[in-house]
Each structure stands twice: as C-alpha cells, then as structure tokens.
Amino acid sequence: MSTTTATAGDPPGADLPEHPDFLWRNPEPKRSYDVVIVGGGGHGLATAHYLVRNHGITNVAVLEKGWLAGGNMARNTTLIRSNYLLDESAFVYEHALKLWEGLEEDLDYPILFSQRGVLNLAHTEQDVRDSVRRVEANRLNGIDAEYLGPDDVAKICPILNVSDDIRYPVLGATYQPRAGIAKHDYVAWGFGRRVDEAGVDLIQDCEVLDFLTEGDVGDGTARVTGIRTSRGDIACGQVALCAAGHTSTLLDRLGVRTPLQSHPLQALVSELLEPVHPTIVMSNAVHVYVSQAHKGELVMGAGVDSYNGYGQRGAFHVIERQMAAAVELFPVFARAHLLRSWAGIVDVTPDASPIVGRTPYANVLVNSGWGTGGFKVTPGLGWCLAHTIATGELHPHIAPFALDRFVTGALVDEHGAAGVAH
C-alpha cells in the first residue's frame, strides 16, 4: 500500500492516502459460524483479525447493527498511550502500543500512526506528586515516561500557556514520547479488509436482538446456541460480545447483570488549521484533551456527560466548560471555529477498568467497560480475546478484568488508581 508523500508547500493532509476502490464484500449471513462476534467496531474487527492471523480460525461472522465501525470507533479522539498507573492496565495497553507500532505492516494498509507523544498536565501540588508516582510506576513496567517542569513542557508544545496567572497553572506534566494518534477509520478499514480477504463475513445492518439458549445457569450448563438477529437466526460455536456502550443491553437479554453504565461522551473538531499543535495534551483537572489531526483539525474531547444515555449526543454546557478550559490553556484557540461536535456511548464501570472474560454462559465471552479509553487497546484486546477464544485459556493480560472481581472480595480500586482520564 503506497502512501503519497507531501512536499514543502502542500497543504496539511496532502499526504493522506487515497481511499481504496474496494474494501470488503457485503455477504448474506450463513446459517452458522464457529465464532460469532457481536459488534463491528475496532474491538470486534481486531478480534476477528487475530483469530485469522494467529490461530487460523476463519469461519467467523462479525455482526454489526449499523455500518462497519460507525459506533465509538468512528467517534473517538484516537489518542493512544500506555502510561496507566494500575499494573494490569499498563500491561494490556503497552501490549497494544507495541502492536500499534507494527500494525501498518501487519495490515498492509496505512493507518497513519503518529507517535507524537502525550503530555498529561499537573495543575496542583497533588497532581505533581501523583504524576511523578505514575512516571516511576510506568518505568518499573518498562514503559517510556518522564516528568517535565513547565519550561520543558513549553518546549514540546509552545502554544501551551505555562504562565502562572491562570486559574489552574501548569506546574508540570508527565510525558510519554511513544504515545500517539492513528486514523481510526483507516484502522477499522485495514482490519476489515484483511479479515474479509481471509473469508470472515462482515455483516452490516444486522442487529442482534436476542439469544437462543440451552442448559441452566445454575448448574453451569448454560450455552448460547444461536443468535437472533434482524436478519434471521444464526447458529454459533462461540460468541464474543464487543458492543461497547450497548453490551449491558445484550447481557440483560441473557439475564446476566454487570455493573456497566452507559454515558454519552462528546468530542468536537475545529476547522482545518496550519500545523500548530505538535503533540497531545491532556488535562484531567480542567478536563480537556487536544491533538491536531493529520489534515489540521484540532480534535478535542471532554469528560462524560453525567447521566446515563444512548442518544449519541450530549449536553451543551459540557462542551462549553471544555472549551473554556481549552482556551485558557491554548490562547491561540480563541480564534478557531468549531466545525462539528458529536457523542459516542461509552460503558463505564465502578473502577474505570474493563470487564473482559467469561460469563455464566460457557461459550460466551464479554468484552466491555473500556469506557472512554478503549480505542488505544484495539489491537491488544483483539489479540488477547482471539487467544482466549482459540485456546479456551484466558490470556494473562485480560484475566485480571473478570466480571467476578466485583463479587469475590477482590480489591476494587477507584478511578484514580486506574490512571484513566475520566
């Protein structure tokens, strides 16, 4: 796959590859599959890819109620990093980051993975201490991380306001140089094209409505024998639920309770600008995160809207607050025009860590609760879930995230321990 190269004087984005003429077939569902993956987002597609690539399993269907990767995969702000505090999170996100570093070659498709680094800002003395602690924890886990003072922060991102006369001055930041962004649509198309070539059926416009089951949850014999969809019933060997914000509505059909709550998460982009913002900046305290897309839009995200929702939109005051923070941190943004805003529906857990693994149905795996941060884990999760489906053994990177941690008395940490942004 060739990527055209921009020459001096070309507008930003001139080096984006052309869209290919053909990506995947649009097949009719077969009567049965060895593996049925519910949800054609990044996670479902990556799982299909590693089932093919690592395990040679190709009798697979990915069922998507809308269009391929039109859910959170198309709506996220594409930030990729692995500087999490919790060891278990650091391991799975770093596994993913290593895969991102070779994914373009693996998929033979441009994904525009750009390792431009991430600054996570500290605005209070406590932020500073927490940041230094996280840097040390990251280093012990072999993850690249540094703590920088305001002058060094300004060297990396000159448009950032590091003066001390703002409400939440920048006292410093953690820096992960290997963090980056990728073009989310291209990532999905790369996975989709690859698995389609191998014979996996990507079935769009196919909503999973219910499940056909046998056996009894009480004595451990429960199984799902088929999937009831808007395009008929499909028999299945194994099932992986990868429906992000909608996973709990599917588990409700199976009578399986999870501590998942679905919330709108909003993002927005500016008009196209000259390159001004060379890295990624995140601030949890004033809650904004920003990068500049390949074409030149400033891409910004907020925190989740507080209430539960499935409407793929959110409240205006959340955007307003986020914009106020952005303009204070980046005074040059005051003149940028907002082009569009949107929301995705993210599934949030009490400890801000995912819920992945077995369910009371022997042949059903759940993959959920990645909340506001699951784009970056796409290849890593796909790898681990495919391993689990193919071998029957939970991959060690996902084993800590089992649903039963909430009832076994395991230590269930709070948000801060996970080192997530929201």
Partner 1 sequence: MQLITCPWCGPREELEFHYGGQAHVAYPEDPQELTDEQWAHFVFFRDNPKGPFPERWVHGAGCRRWFNAVRDTRTYQFLAVYRIGEAQPQIPGATT
Ligand X SMILES: Cc1cc2nc3c(=O)[nH]c(=O)nc-3n(C[C@H](O)[C@H](O)[C@H](O)COP(=O)(O)OP(=O)(O)OC[C@H]3O[C@@H](n4cnc5c(N)ncnc54)[C@H](O)[C@@H]3O)c2cc1C
56 binds partner 1 (CB under 8 A): no
259 binds partner 1 (CB under 8 A): yes
Instruction: Measure CA 150 to chain center.
Output: 29
Specify the residue, 238 or 261, whose C-beta has the smaller distance to partner 1. 261
- Bridge partners (DSSP) listed for residue 224: 213
Residue 301: C-alpha distances to residues 57, 222, 359 (Å):
37, 41, 33
Among candidates 231, 223, 313, which has minimal Cα distance to 265?
313
User: Binding partner 1 by CB under 8 A: which of 246, 277, 376, 422?
Assistant: 246
- The C-alpha atoms of residue 375 and residue 378 are separated, in whole angstroms, by 5
> Residues 292-321 vs partner 1: string with x where CB under 8 A?
--------------xxxxxx---xxx----
- The C-alpha atoms of residue 329 and residue 267 are separated, in whole angstroms, by 17
- The C-alpha atoms of residue 159 and residue 184 are separated, in whole angstroms, by 26
263 binds ligand X (CB under 6 A): no
Residue 397 binds: one of partner 1, ligand X, none (C-beta under 5 to 8 A by kind): none
Specify the residue, 36 or 171, whose C-beta has the smaller distance to ligand X. 36
39 binds ligand X (CB under 6 A): yes
What one-letter code names the amino acid at 180?
Answer: G
Ramachandran quadrant class, 407 (left: phi over 0; alpha: psi -120 to 50; beta: rest): alpha
Residue 309 binds: one of partner 1, ligand X, none (C-beta under 5 to 8 A by kind): partner 1
409 binds partner 1 (CB under 8 A): yes
Residue with tokens 């089951």: 213
301 binds ligand X (CB under 6 A): yes
Minimum CB separation of residue 364 from partner 1 in Å reads 18
For 67, other C-beta atoms within 10 Å of its C-beta total: 11
> Residues 352-391 vs ligand X: string with x where CB under 6 A?
------------------x-xxxxx---------------
Query: DSSP letters along 346-360, please?
Result: EEE-TTSS-EEEE-S
Residue with tokens 């987002």: 41
- The C-alpha atoms of residue 73 and residue 231 are separated, in whole angstroms, by 23
Residue 280: C-alpha distances to residues 114, 168, 323, 365 (Å):
11, 19, 16, 34
Minimum CB separation of residue 221 from ligand X in Å reads 25
* Window 60 to 99, contacts with ligand X (CB under 6 A): 63-66, 69-73, 75-79
- Stretch of residues binding partner 1 (CB under 8 A), selected from 10-18, 50-58, 248-256, 266-274: 248-256
Residue 373 binds: one of partner 1, ligand X, none (C-beta under 5 to 8 A by kind): ligand X
User: Binding partner 1 by CB under 8 A: which of 207, 406, 415, 417?
Assistant: 406
Interface residue list for partner 1 (CB under 8 A): 246, 248-249, 252, 257-262, 306-311, 315-317, 350, 406-409, 412
